[in-house]
Structure 1
């Protein structure tokens, strides 16, 4: 990166960086709006109130586990199963947080923990990319709190708004999957995958996990596809990276 570009990056104020993060997130926000509407509509059909769902989405802030929890909801709800599936689906955040943590070392613990609380797949991917770009430009700290605040804050507020709106308009729209809204999550996922793509070998565990989870979902009832998909992906990573004796 040229010295003029590096100087421009270093001279931006916090508010300018927040605005930059918000603008960078706009394409993803458009994608997660229908995704949130779908979750809200499904939750309303399961008996969730507006308050209950916005509380869950605001505190948990992980769409995959929230879809799993809503799908498993019953009367009475199988709480232990829901908790275990949520922990399993969200376990990827342990690896994501570990990858981001070195870049947060300069922050006070309370700010670092708050940043990790707002971390989701999209904000993690965008912040990791921005960290790499700032490191290449020789800027320190590589983690830009303003940019991250703009990205993560926009995603968090939009997600809560979209899911809450889904609860309200769900009864009016009926089965919104007929509008194709259920394709929003795969579309956003594919965009993130493209941004992190480093070749077929690095993407092979994703493919193995997808095939195993899809086959399990097709042939076995319940949420068994979640642990099967996670375990098969981890096994694929271990096999691909094992040392040859």
Structure 2
């Protein structure tokens, strides 16, 4: 074994460390928008009777804000478990498509590393990971984990904090905290903007989701908007 061989693990480890820090730093602006949104969810869950530990368990195992808000809205006594599970699967179905868009950038990773990392994927870490992967032609696992783990830890901690302090503060939405998610979403869209031509499928997706939201109760607008975006993107590319 040569001296060069001995230094390779150290170089790789140092590179991964810097990539992880780069991801954590990139996540900081998003965290500012995530905190108030998480506090609102925790407070709403507490109003429905969930304990701090139950909120942390829910948000830690099901890392998807949209489905968690839907579950809390449907929470009743007795709890309609099957309805909540079905709605959670429906709202989280977008993760199948999100994972599919990342797949071309994951070929260099073994499943033993890719699958655990994707457990921490959410809308924000997906968008940031995809944007970075397009620049590098592959996903930097350390960068992705730097983003995703920071978001996950912040989300779980702040939803639990919201459950703890929410009952004493009242409805946190009165402070405008619920606008944080919309602000973060617009920032992510700006980072993925590629011009008006590429945005046409976004428009079809938006209009379809809005119509379903207004006309059909439940979370069907998520699936409808996703499918409309895929179909319109395919047809637009063919034209």
Q: CA deviation at 1:116?
A: 1.0
Mapped to 1, the partners of 2:221 and 2:144 lie a distance apart of 33
Which stretches of structure 1, 4 residues or longer, exceed 6 Å deviation after superposition? Answer: none
Mapped to 2, the partners of 1:45 and 1:101 lie a distance apart of 40
Deviates more, 1:156-165 or 1:224-233: 224-233
Mapped to 1, the partners of 2:183 and 2:173 lie a distance apart of 15
Contact 2:46 2:166 in 1 (8 A): yes
Match of 2:118 in 1: 116
How high is the TM-score relative to the length of structure 1? 0.84
1:37-94 Cα deviation digits (max 9, x unpaired): 0000000000111111111111110000000000100001111111111111100100
Match of 1:4 in 2: none
Could you say what secondary structure the match of 2:121 adopts? coil
Matched, 1:215 2:214: yes
Aligned mate of 1:241, from 230, 234, 237: 234
Contact 1:41 1:167 in 2 (8 A): yes
Mapped to 1, the partners of 2:103 and 2:20 lie a distance apart of 20
- Give the gaps of 5 or more residues in structure 2: 1-11
Q: CA deviation at 1:203?
A: 1.7
Quick one: structure 1 residues 229 and 125, their matched pair in 2 at CA, closer, same or farther if it must change by over 3 Å? closer
Q: CA deviation at 1:210?
A: 4.1
1:97-145 Cα deviation digits (max 9, x unpaired): 111123222222221111110111111111111111113xxxxxx2112
Could you say what secondary structure the match of 2:104 adopts? helix
Match of 1:17 in 2: 19
Two-structure CA RMSD over aligned residues (Å) = 2.2
Q: CA deviation at 1:211?
A: 2.2
Deviates more, 1:117-126 or 1:232-241: 232-241
Alignment size in residue pairs: 224
Q: 1:45-194 residue pairs with structure 2 within 5 A? A: 45-135=47-137, 142-194=138-190
Aligned mate of 2:192, from 190, 196, 211: 196
Could you say what secondary structure the match of 2:219 adopts? helix
Contact 2:42 2:160 in 1 (8 A): yes
- Give the gaps of 5 or more residues in structure 1: 1-9, 136-141
Contact 1:122 1:192 in 2 (8 A): yes
Mapped to 1, the partners of 2:233 and 2:113 lie a distance apart of 36
Contact 2:42 2:159 in 1 (8 A): yes
Deviates more, 1:166-175 or 1:227-236: 227-236
How high is the TM-score relative to the length of structure 2? 0.86
Contact 1:44 1:167 in 2 (8 A): yes
